[in-house]
């Protein structure tokens, strides 16, 4: 009813789940270290003679390779969908992902609400419910120390190496060589993710992100992973929590905890979730 006691019309009616109040945010920072050569492709090298066919993506301001947030987030989502056994039902060009579409019940989408992936990584904006994505993954740039280390090396290209590969004809044994560009093993990128809490149960959903980090360490990032590239490790992970009141009255030091590795973070699951609820001011609230 409006202020004059009239029932809402079809144009003004709103489903019950249109509320998206920020209760707080969890910030995860750390290092993504390339254990083997890392290759995340960029635009082709143009038409110049000798130009590289398979370059890595680079920051146009510094010419340094970086890890796009879209690549990192997409891989984390893909691995989360696979470990949950979710149906890949939404086509994006030539690939399919999982999306909880439809299934309306009294203004809510029970399938979406109970999905371990969609509320965290998001759904297309034109699908119901058009709820906000919890996880934001920033582009990860080389750390200053890694920049100095790579500049000190005699590499094939600035901050990168050229790896030669060959396709072998199974009958004639003729080799067709090709070259790909990779960031050398050992390079370190500064990683940042921001996870928004819209309801108390989002604290538990955050564990989908932590688990995906472990899944990625046993998989690969970028391309040519089945041939050795893209093994990464997350180091020096720090969780910090900014409850909603801190946006009005900032404090000098937010509550935070640091873990040497993903395994150390996973091993403290119950303790970490309880601490996140307490730090976000959501302790005792139903999930």
pLDDT for position 137: 98
pLDDT for position 252: 80
The confidence band for 165, taking pLDDT boundaries of 50, 70 and 90, is confident
Helices and strands, counts by H and E, the chain: 8, 11
Taking the C-alpha atoms of residue 34 and residue 180, their distance in angstroms, rounded to an integer, is 16
Taking the C-alpha atoms of residue 181 and residue 62, their distance in angstroms, rounded to an integer, is 17
Higher-confidence residue of 101 and 142: namely 142
pLDDT for position 7: 40
pLDDT for position 150: 96
**Tokens describing residue 55:** 């370059």
Q: Does the pLDDT at position 11 exceed 60? A: no
Give alpha helix (H) positions in the chain.
Answer: 69-84, 110-114, 118-121, 144-152, 202-205, 207-217, 262-267, 269-279
Could you give phi then psi for residue 112, rounded to 5 degrees? -65, -45
Taking the C-alpha atoms of residue 242 and residue 256, their distance in angstroms, rounded to an integer, is 9
Q: Does the pLDDT at position 75 exceed 70? A: yes
Question: How confident is the model over 178-198, as pLDDT tens digits?
Answer: 888 999 999 999 999 999 999
Question: How confident is the model over 230-279, as pLDDT tens digits?
Answer: 999 999 999 999 999 999 988 888 899 999 999 999 999 999 999 999 99
> In the chain, pLDDT over 90 holds for what percent of residues?
61
Range 275-286 average pLDDT: 89
Q: Which residues pair with 239 in a beta bridge?
A: 28, 257
Considering the chain, what is the average pLDDT of its residues? 87
Question: How confident is the model over 106-152, as pLDDT tens digits?
Answer: 667 778 888 999 999 998 877 766 678 999 999 999 999 999 999 99
Between 66-70, 98-102, 142-146, 171-175, the lowest mean confidence (pLDDT) is in 98-102
Which of helix, strand or coil describes residue 256? Answer: strand
Question: How confident is the model over 29-68, as pLDDT tens digits?
Answer: 999 999 999 999 865 544 444 455 678 999 999 999 999 9
pLDDT for position 43: 59
pLDDT for position 115: 92
Rounded to two decimals, what is the model's pTM? 0.86
């Amino acid at each position: 009813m409006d202020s004059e006691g009239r029932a809402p019309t079809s144009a003004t009616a709103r489903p019950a789940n249109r509320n998206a109040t920020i209760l707080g945010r969890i910030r995860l920072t750390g290092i993504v270290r390339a254990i083997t050569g890392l290759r995340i492709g960029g635009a082709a090298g143009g038409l110049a003679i000798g130009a590289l066919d398979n370059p890595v993506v680079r920051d146009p301001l510094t010419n340094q390779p970086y890890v796009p947030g879209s690549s990192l987030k997409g891989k984390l989502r893909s691995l989360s969908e696979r470990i949950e056994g979710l149906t890949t039902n939404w086509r994006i060009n030539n690939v399919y992902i999982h999306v909880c579409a439809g299934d309306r019940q009294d203004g809510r989408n029970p399938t979406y609400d109970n999905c371990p992936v969609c509320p965290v990584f998001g759904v297309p904006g034109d699908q119901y419910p058009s709820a906000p994505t919890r996880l934001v993954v920033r582009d990860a740039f080389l750390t200053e120390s890694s920049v100095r280390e790579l500049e000190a090396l005699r590499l094939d290209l600035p901050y990168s190496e050229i790896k030669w590969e060959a396709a072998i004809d199974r009958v004639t044994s003729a080799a067709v060589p090709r070259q790909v560009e990779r960031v050398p093993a050992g390079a370190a990128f500064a990683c940042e993710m921001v996870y928004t809490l819209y309801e108390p149960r989002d604290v538990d959903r955050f564990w989908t992100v932590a688990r995906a980090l472990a899944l990625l360490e046993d998989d690969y990032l970028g391309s040519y992973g089945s041939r050795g590239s893209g093994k990464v490790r997350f180091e020096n992970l720090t969780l910090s929590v900014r409850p909603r009141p801190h946006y009005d009255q900032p404090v000098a030091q937010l509550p935070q905890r640091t873990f040497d590795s993903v395994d150390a973070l996973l091993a403290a699951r119950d303790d970490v979730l309880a601490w996140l609820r307490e730090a976000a001011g959501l302790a005792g609230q139903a999930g």
